[in-house]
Amino acid sequence: MSYAMGPDLQDICVLIVEDNVRNYALLARLLSFMGVKQTEWRRSGWQVPEFAHDAMTQVDLILLDIHLPDEDGYEVLTRLREDEQFRDTRIVAVTADITSANLSRAQSAGFDGFLAKPIDVDHFPDQIRRILGGEVVWDLG
């Protein structure tokens, strides 16, 4: 599981919803090492549909922070799932809150995965590939 660039990830579009710029930077870097060319950053969930509409682009993966200003990750997820465009989009929770209460809430909310912060750099490429392959990945750090 390395950061070897494969052609398979070149054309996917990953959207990162994260209020902390350094956390976005780390994720974007890791994704770019994997060969992902299109990585978008939004600070809040409200900007996700806007982006999708403006860019006329299909979003393949959303890495969604739970702890967000104004609207938390769960509310964003609920709203996105109601949107036809994001009903089947892979959406993964990325959070520093790894309490079991939060984990079970994420499971029942309908996330396709759960990545704990700090991000496990060693396993990240494998986890992302598995998520894109349709698996549901729960990493508790």
Partner 1 sequence: MAERAIEPTGDNAPPQTMPRPLPTLGMRGGLGKTLLIAFLLLAIVPLSLLAFLTYHEIERDTRQKLVASLETVVVLKEAHLIDWVWGYERELSLIADALDRRVDPLAEMAAVQAHDPTLTGLVLIDRDTGEVLASTDQAHAMPGLIDPLLSDEKGLVIASVATASSEPVLAISYPWDDRQLIAFPGWDALQRIIADSEAAWEGSTTYLVMSDGWILSEEGLSFVPAGEPERVSQGISDIWQRKDGSGAYDGLDGEPVFGAYLWNPALQVGILAEQSQSQALEMGNRLTAVVVGATLVVALVTAAIAAIVTRRVTQPIVQLTETAAWMARGRLNQKVVISRNDEIGVLARAFNRMAAELRVLYENLEAKVAERTIQLQAANEQTNYHLIQLATSAEVARVATSIREIDALLVTVVQLIGRAFELEHAAIYLFDKDGALVEAAAFLEEPGQGLRWLSRVAEANGSSPLGRVAADGQRRVVRAGEGSAPDGDGGATAAARPIAACELAVPLQVRDRILGVLELQSSRADDFGENEQVVYQSLADQISIAIENARVYALERETVERLRELDRLQSQFLTNMSHALRTPLNSIIGFSRVMLKELDGPLNETQSADLEAIYDSGRQLLGLISDMLELSRLELGVAPFSPGEVDLHEIIEGVMATARALARGKAIQIYEEVPADMPLLYTDGQRVRQVILALLSNAVKYTDEGNIYLRAGKDDGQVTISVRDTGLVIRGDELEHIFAETGAPTPGARDGSPGGEGDVPSFGLAISKRVVEKLGGQIWVESIEGPGSVFTFTLPIRPTNEFGAD
Residues binding partner 1 (CB under 8 A): 3, 20, 22-23, 26, 29-30, 33, 67, 96-97, 99-101, 117-119, 121-122, 141
Shortest spacing between CB 119 and partner 1, in angstroms:
5
Shortest spacing between CB 133 and partner 1, in angstroms:
23
Q: Closer to partner 1 by CB, 67 or 130: give it.
A: 67
Q: Which residues are CB-neighbours of 40 under 8 A, at least 6 positions away?
A: 13, 14, 15, 16, 51, 55, 59
- Rounded Cα distance between 123 and 141, Å, is 10
Shortest spacing between CB 16 and partner 1, in angstroms:
13
